[in-house]
Amino acid sequence: MLKLIDLISREVSGAFSAAGYDEAYGKVTVSNRPDLCEYQCNGALPAAKVYHKPPMAIAEDVAAQLAGNANFERVEACRPGFINLRLSPASLADYLEKMRTSERFGVEPDPAACRMIIDYGGPNVAKPLHVGHLRSAIIGESLKRIFRFFGNDVVGDIHMGDWGLQMGLIIAELRERHPELPYFDEAFAGEYPAEAPFTIADLEEIYPAASAKSKADEAFAAKAHDMTRRLQEGDRGCRALWEHIMRLSVADLKKNYSRLDVDFELWLGESDAQPYIEPMLGIMQDKGLAQRSDGALVVDVSEPEDTKQIPPCILLKSDGATLYATTDLATLLQRMGDYQPGRIYYVTDKRQNLHFEQVFRAARKAGIVPPEVRLDHLGFGTMNGPDGKPFKTREGGVMRLERLIAEITEFVEKKIEDNQVVGDAERPETARKIAMAALKYGDLSNQPTKDYVFDLDRFAAFEGNTGPYILYTIVRIKSILSRAESADALCVRAALSPEEKAMQLVISRLADNLELACRDSAPNLICAYIYELAGAVNKFYHETRILTEPDPEKKAGFLAGIALAKSVLETCIDLLGFEAPDKM
């Protein structure tokens, strides 16, 4: 379905052409003076130079052509040559009724939609999830839903850090503590126990202990390196321990991410890319791209037009060890082979910008990723505490994700307890939904690349530019609709007040906002849009007696308008990754 602005542009272009001017001048924009008009066309100004006429004369010619056009309530030529437009309430209502009765509100899929892989989340196994992983999960999940909405076939891959030294550290520490375990007995040929000899809580204690020990104790560090090597070479005992670690960690991660309503189609990680490292290095060598530099194997990825220096991408360290870039290049080879995606999209902290620039360039040079496949990296900013530094616990430690979610949920739960609208039975689930809205909207309403300050009081407020305010608006509409007798004859009707028209105009701009949010990977544009819509709905609600309206047709029109607003809001918050309760 055409966007309303394109429909209006078509009418105005037709008028330019009927008046003897090039129709290209008929492009219309949303008015930046909503007090004067709703849409405007400034085409008479550039046309004046070409046709050697005063712009005002052209604007008047065009306005005359539009006189009597049923789409407009008023068309005015204004000095120095603007054409100001007001839609007729009937045609606006018509458009909304089409939206209301179309699938996905008539928003067209992206003609360039393709198969996509989004690499987001990126937790490291056996290390607790912390708020640094939170943004990747929140932004990645929202982008995945937005890309899907526009018809892309999107696969989310969590891409765990599940390989390398961190695993060697854990295994080495386990051996120090429990040398008697069969995993460390090289002569052991039987079956290893099915149950892990540790719990997830043990692991969370073991990893930091081992990591600290390796920094202070060289002999232990050497043992950890040795265990890493043995794991990589396929040692049975190490492999069995690794599998235990993975099983426990993945179960724990699944629990945590599901609390966030974030889910992944693929639970792959760095370990899955290991078989692709040799073939990837082979390609680099065959293409003559791999060079020795101080013993390391590197690919030069600098370009003559670079304004800042891009250092070479390191494939192997001088001791033969693989690095982050090695794994990411191998993963690209794997993904291209397994999924033939048209686009691969990474969501990480912006401190990884250079890493991805190097990896993308190396992959292009080697032909691992052909030119028609898009590679994108969204480097997001930091979530800061009130002191402007990366968010910490009150004691100054790294805030664990679980604890953060628990704190927000508790805070919200107290609030709704005071309000006494939600029954005891629904309270935990309602609190969870509001907490998610507070957390996710608080994050997503910022431009992703910017840092922001986490402020629980502000994010969880029921008024202002917050997630709970949006939910509150939806809940209010739900309550009105539930008190209306019948929803059968709903039909959007011509607006009867400026407030109703204003609400309808915002609804009509859904597609424009979603398209921009998708094009620019900017969930913040959806937040801004629903904030505007919620404001318009609340204004309309305050100015209108909806349920007590005696004229059944008028009443059905009001109800259809707010019901449509509700569906639009619900669709938008779903794209942001949260949902509304029935009461709050």
The residues that touch ligand ARG, with contacts defined as CB under 6 A, are 119, 122, 124, 159, 161, 328, 346, 348
In angstroms, give the least distance from the CB of 349 to ligand ARG. 7
Sign of CA dihedral 487, 489, 491, 495: negative
Least distance (Å) between residue 346 CB and ligand ARG: 6
Dihedral sign, Cα of residue 356, residue 361, residue 362, residue 367: positive
Put residue 420 in one of left, alpha, beta given phi > 0 → left and psi -120 to 50 → alpha. left
- As measured in angstroms, the least distance from the Cβ of 161 to ligand ARG is 4
CA 533, chain centre distance (Å) = 20
- Least Å distance, CB 121 to ligand ARG, is 8
Comparing C-alpha atoms, which of 503, 439, 565, 427 is closest to residue 138? 439
Phi, psi of 41 (to 5 degrees): -125, 125
| CA neighbor of 48 nearest in space, from 33, 61, 35 | 61
Measured from the CB atom, the residue of 291 and 353 that comes closer to ligand ARG is 353
Is the CB of 119 or the CB of 413 nearer to ligand ARG?
119
Instruction: Report how far residue 335's alpha carbon sits from residue 436's, in angstroms, rounded to the nearest whole number.
Output: 32
Enter the DSSP assignment of 156.
Answer: E
DSSP per residue over 542-581, as a string?
HH---TT-S-HHHHHHHHHHHHHHHHHHHHHHHHHT----
Amino acid at residue number 262: V
Rank residues 232 and 348 by Cβ distance to ligand ARG and give the closer one. 348
Structure tokens at 346: 């990474």
Nearest to 474 by CA among 558, 579, 545, 577: 579
Shortest separation between residue 118's beta carbon and ligand ARG, angstroms? 10
Tell me how far, at minimum, the Cβ of 356 lies from ligand ARG, in Å. 8
Q: Which residue is nearest to ligand ARG (CB)?
A: 122
Pick 100 or 130: Cβ nearer ligand ARG: 130
Q: What is the rounded distance in angstroms from the CA atom of residue 416 to the CA atom of residue 419?
A: 5
CB of 306 to ligand ARG, least distance (A): 22
Q: Which is nearer to ligand ARG, 44 or 277 (CB)?
A: 277
Q: Which is nearer to ligand ARG, 65 or 124 (CB)?
A: 124
Residues 6+ apart with CB under 8 A from 351: 379
Compute how many other C-beta atoms are within 10 angstroms of the C-beta atom of residue 584: 23
Place of tokens 């458009």: 95
Give the chain's count of helices (H) and strands (E).
Answer: 20, 13
Please say which residue, 345 or 452, places its beta carbon nearer to ligand ARG.
Answer: 345
To ligand ARG, the closest distance from the beta carbon of 289 in angstroms equals: 21
Q: How far apart are CA 58 and CA 45, in angstroms?
A: 8
Q: Please tell me the chain's helix, strand, coil percentages from 3-state DSSP, rounded to the nearest 5.
A: 55, 10, 35
With respect to ligand ARG, which residue has the nearer C-beta, 149 or 346?
346
Nearer to ligand ARG, 95 or 346 (CB): 346
Q: How far is the CB of 162 from ligand ARG (least distance, A)?
A: 9
Least distance in angstroms from the C-beta of 147 to ligand ARG:
17
Residue with tokens 């508790």: 410
Which is nearer to ligand ARG, 65 or 136 (by Cβ)?
136
